[in-house]
């Protein structure tokens, strides 16, 4: 009888119904979306895993955002650090064993009479390793990423590229199917939202060019953002600046917001209308948003949460801080880019140059 200490995985488990993946091998390809690691990614993700998350999509699925794989690694095992485990030449020790799919779990004795870790019925229904594969799924999709002759779900060099390949096979390389692909990895929309929130924080923003599919999926799926239908179409079509999406997503950590204006539905000219020589609104370029309710209450001079939201906007990091902020409070006139006028008594406006 072999006794081993296993660590209870406190995060999501990989769904039971996982299908084999089609691995896309592109040895010389470059990841095309999701940007370079942000300062938060560099600070939070161990260097070995940060490089591995990025390389996994280059090798297995160039159009899958590497930050999504990193988001899964964060939610599933805190980047192979859950419960104080350590990496030894890529393998986590002690093993990370999730709760039983029936709800039981914890530190247990593993009876492994023939040397095979997954022959024991007690753990066969438990997700394992830093990316939390169930053994049945690993038997179908697990790969020997480091080519050492063993495909081991407890080895990050095997588990991370296997996760990237699985997500790709589930449609994760297509921005329109990204949310569904993550849901296939773990059948929980709350899990999807959590993964995407981390993914959005891990990648730097590129205001110009195609909108980041991570941000699009996260914003459109957020239960704390109420966005009018034409505005949702603006987002889905990639017409909205990444900085706008990032600010809205970040705000949902504290507030529920109702958005009344993005690009469609707003005038071309500041102050209304469309005429030659006018000052063109940032809304026209997809670089601004208006919020008319905060935490379910209309924006008025007495809405304290809307006031706090306005102050928060001015304190964001330079990368995403709006260049113009308008609201009902004249007393905030000293904030960077702030303005107050009669047209902004019932909403908070934020725009980027």
pLDDT one digit per residue (tens) for the chain, 353 residues = 222 333 434 333 333 223 233 222 222 233 334 578 999 999 999 999 999 999 999 999 999 999 999 999 999 999 999 888 888 888 888 888 876 655 444 433 333 334 444 444 444 567 889 999 988 888 889 999 999 999 999 999 999 999 999 999 999 999 989 999 999 999 999 999 999 999 999 998 877 667 889 999 999 999 999 999 999 999 999 999 999 999 999 999 999 999 999 999 999 998 888 888 888 999 999 999 999 999 999 999 999 999 999 999 999 988 899 999 999 999 998 888 899 988 899 999 999 99
Q: What's the DSSP call for residue 127?
A: E
**Which residues are paired to 324 by β-bridges?**
351
Contacts of 158 (CB under 8 A, 6+ apart): 142, 143, 144, 145, 146, 150, 151, 152
Q: Which residues, 6 or more positions from 209, have their beta carbon under 8 angstroms from its beta carbon?
A: none
Q: Are 29 and 175 in contact (CB under 8 A)?
A: no
Q: How far apart are CA 184 and CA 166, in angstroms?
A: 9
Cα–Cα distance between 167 and 170 in angstroms, integer?
5
Q: Which two three-digit tokens encode residue 240?
A: 């909205």
Q: What local confidence, expressed as pLDDT, does residue 44 receive?
A: 97
Whole-angstrom distance, CA of residue 273 vs CA of residue 157: 57
pTM: 0.77
Provide the edge-to-edge strand list for the sheet that holds 7-9. Answer: 7-9, 96-100, 126-128
d(CA 56, CA 319): 27
């Amino acid at each position: 009888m072999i006794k081993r200490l296993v660590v209870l995985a406190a995060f999501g488990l990989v769904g039971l119904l996982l299908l084999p993946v089609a691995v896309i091998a592109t040895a010389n390809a470059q990841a095309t979306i999701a940007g370079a690691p942000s300062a938060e990614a560099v600070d939070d993700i161990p260097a070995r895993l940060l490089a591995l998350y990025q390389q996994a999509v280059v090798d297995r699925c160039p159009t899958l955002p590497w930050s999504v794989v990193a988001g899964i690694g964060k939610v599933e095992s805190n980047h192979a650090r859950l419960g104080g485990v350590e990496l030894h030449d890529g393998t986590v020790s002690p093993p990370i064993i999730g709760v039983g799919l029936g709800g039981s779990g914890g530190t247990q004795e593993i009876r492994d009479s023939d040397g095979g870790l997954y022959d024991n019925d007690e753990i066969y229904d438990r997700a394992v390793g830093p990316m939390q594969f169930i053994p049945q799924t690993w038997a179908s999709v697990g790969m020997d990423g480091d080519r050492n002759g063993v495909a081991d779900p407890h080895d990050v060099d095997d588990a991370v590229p296997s996760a990237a390949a699985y997500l790709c096979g589930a449609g994760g390389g297509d921005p329109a199917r990204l949310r569904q692909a993550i849901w296939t990895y773990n059948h929980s929309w709350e899990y999807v939202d959590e993964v995407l929130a981390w993914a959005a924080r891990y990648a730097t923003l590129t205001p110009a060019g195609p909108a980041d599919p991570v941000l699009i999926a996260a914003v459109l799926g957020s239960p704390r953002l109420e966005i009018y239908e034409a505005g949702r179409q603006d987002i889905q079509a990639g017409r909205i600046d990444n900085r706008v999406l990032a600010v809205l997503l970040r705000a949902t950590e504290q507030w529920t917001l109702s958005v009344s204006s993005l690009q469609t539905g707003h005038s071309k000219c500041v102050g209304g209308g469309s005429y030659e020589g006018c000052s063109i609104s940032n809304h026209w370029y997809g670089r601004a948003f208006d919020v008319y309710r905060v935490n379910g209450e209309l924006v008025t001079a007495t809405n304290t949460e809307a006031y706090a939201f306005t102050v928060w906007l001015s304190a964001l990091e330079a990368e995403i801080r709006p260049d113009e902020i308008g609201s009902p409070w004249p007393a905030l006139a000293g904030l960077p880019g702030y303005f107050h006028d009669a047209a902004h008594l019932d909403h908070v406006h934020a725009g980027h140059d």
